[in-house]
C-alpha cells in the first residue's frame, strides 16, 4: 500500500481517526524511537481534551451533565501555508516538492522563530544539536516504500497518510476539532474523523488535561 502513495509532486498529509484513538501513545513512542529523540522533544504528541456542558430539561425540571473526553494525535501537518517557513530568517525551514516541511540543519541557527509561530507546536528545539527539529513524515521510510513510523505502530489503525487530496476524498475535509487551532491559519494537510463527542475548535467547552503535551 505504501508504494502506491509515493508519488512525485503529491502533497502529503495525515488522516487521524479520533473515534479509534485510545490514547495509548504507541505512535509517539515509535516516532521518538525512530528519531532517537531526547527527553522533552516529541514530534508526535497525544493530547487529551476533556470538558462538558449542562443541558436543561424543562419538562422534568432537571439539568443533565454532558461530559466528554477524547484524544488527539498530532504532529506536523505539513501545511499548505506553513507559517514556520515564512518566519524562518535563514530559509532553514523548507518545503519539499512533495509538500512536506523539513529543517535544513546546514542553515538552522536555532533561533526558534518557527517554534513560536507554529500554532501546532510542530518545530521543537533540540538542545543537544542547537537546531530546530520536527516531523518530516518519515522521508527516509517513504523513500523506501514504507509507512511512517507512527502510522505503522498504531494498534487501532487510527492513523493514515498519503496525498492530501486522496485523504480528503476518502475521509472528508474536517480538520478543525478542539483543542486544535483554527485551520484557516495554516491550511493543514490533515483530515480528522471526529470522535462522537468532538468539539469544534472555537467552542471552548473543554480544557487540555495534559497541557505539557501540547
Q: What is the pLDDT of residues 148-174, one digit of tens each?
A: 999 999 999 999 999 999 999 999 999
* Cα–Cα distances in angstroms (integers) from residue 118 to residues 33, 58, 79, 85, in the given order: 24, 45, 10, 10
DSSP state of 146: P
Q: What is the mean pLDDT of residues 187-203?
A: 96
The C-alpha angle with vertex 23 and arms to 19 and 28, in degrees rounded to 5, equals: 120
- Given a contact cutoff of 8 angstroms between Cβ atoms, the answer to whether 154 and 26 are in contact is yes
Confidence of residue 214 (pLDDT cuts 50, 70, 90): low
Q: What is the pLDDT of residue 65?
A: 82
Beta bridge partners of 69: 50
The fraction of the chain above a pLDDT of 70, given in percent, is 95
Amino acid at each position: 500500500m505504501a508504494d502506491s502513495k509515493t508519488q512525485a509532486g503529491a502533497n502529503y498529509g495525515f488522516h487521524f481517526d479520533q473515534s479509534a484513538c485510545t490514547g495509548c501513545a504507541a505512535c509517539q513512542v515509535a516516532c521518538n524511537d525512530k528519531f532517537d529523540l531526547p527527553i522533552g522533544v516529541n514530534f508526535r504528541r497525544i493530547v487529551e481534551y476533556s470538558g462538558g456542558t449542562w443541558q436543561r430539561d424543562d419538562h422534568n425540571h432537571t439539568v443533565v451533565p454532558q461530559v466528554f473526553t477524547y484524544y488527539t494525535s498530532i504532529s506536523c501537518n505539513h501545511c499548505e501555508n506553513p507559517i514556520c517557513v515564512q518566519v524562518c530568517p535563514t530559509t532553514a525551514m523548507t518545503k519539499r516538492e512533495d509538500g512536506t516541511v523539513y529543517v535544513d540543519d546546514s542553515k538552522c541557527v536555532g533561533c526558534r522563530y518557527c517554534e513560536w509561530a507554529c500554532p501546532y507546536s510542530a518545530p521543537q528545539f533540540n538542545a543537544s544539536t542547537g537546531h530546530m527539529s520536527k516531523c518530516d513524515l518519515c522521508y527516509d521510510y517513504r523513500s523506501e516504500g514504507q509507512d511512517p513510523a507512527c502510522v505503522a505502530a498504531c494498534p487501532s489503525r487510527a492513523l493514515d497518510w498519503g496525498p492530501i487530496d486522496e485523504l480528503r476524498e476518502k475521509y472528508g475535509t474536517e480538520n478543525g476539532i478542539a483543542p486544535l487551532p483554527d485551520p484557516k491559519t495554516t491550511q493543514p494537510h490533515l483530515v480528522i474523523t471526529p470522535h462522537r463527542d468532538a468539539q469544534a475548535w472555537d467552542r471552548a467547552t473543554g480544557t487540555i488535561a495534559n497541557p505539557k503535551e501540547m
